[in-house]
Amino acid sequence: MAGIAEDGEEAVIMFKAFLVKPKVILMDHRMPEKTGLEATEEILDLDKKVKIIFVSADVSIKEEALSIGAFSFWVKPFTIDALIHEINRAIESYPLNN
């Protein structure tokens, strides 16, 4: 399953609407309506197992993103190979019983 949200509010709405929840979400921070931090908190309140990988140029929010439960934080720019490796690492860490 895949989806692209235009902002944090849409990300939360999409997550709620998925019948089968995604295991990994790539989340940016600076978005209209709701920031990536706000959306991450709401999504993790709904499902603690989902792995949220922050991808942002705003390094100032790295510690906060990690402290609220983000799986990892990647500062833009990065290579697609590095991102794929991180997505695989997140999938491998997902609980096996789900």
pLDDT per position as a tens digit, 38-82: 999 999 999 999 999 999 999 999 999 999 999 999 999 999 999
Domain span at residue 35 reads: 19-93
**pLDDT above 60 for 16:** yes
Total count of domains within the chain = 1
Question: For the whole prediction, is pTM greater than 0.85?
Answer: yes
Residues 6 or more apart from 66 whose CB is under 8 A from it?
A: 72, 73
Q: Which residue has the tokens 């690492």?
A: 89
Q: Is residue 44 part of a domain?
A: yes
Of 1-5, 42-46, 89-93, the least confident: 1-5
Domain at 62, CATH number: 3.40.50.2300
**Count of beta carbons in the 10 Å neighbourhood of residue 64:** 14
Residue 53 lies in a domain: yes
3-class DSSP state of 83? helix
| Structure confidence by residue, pLDDT tens digits, 48-57 | 999 999 999 9
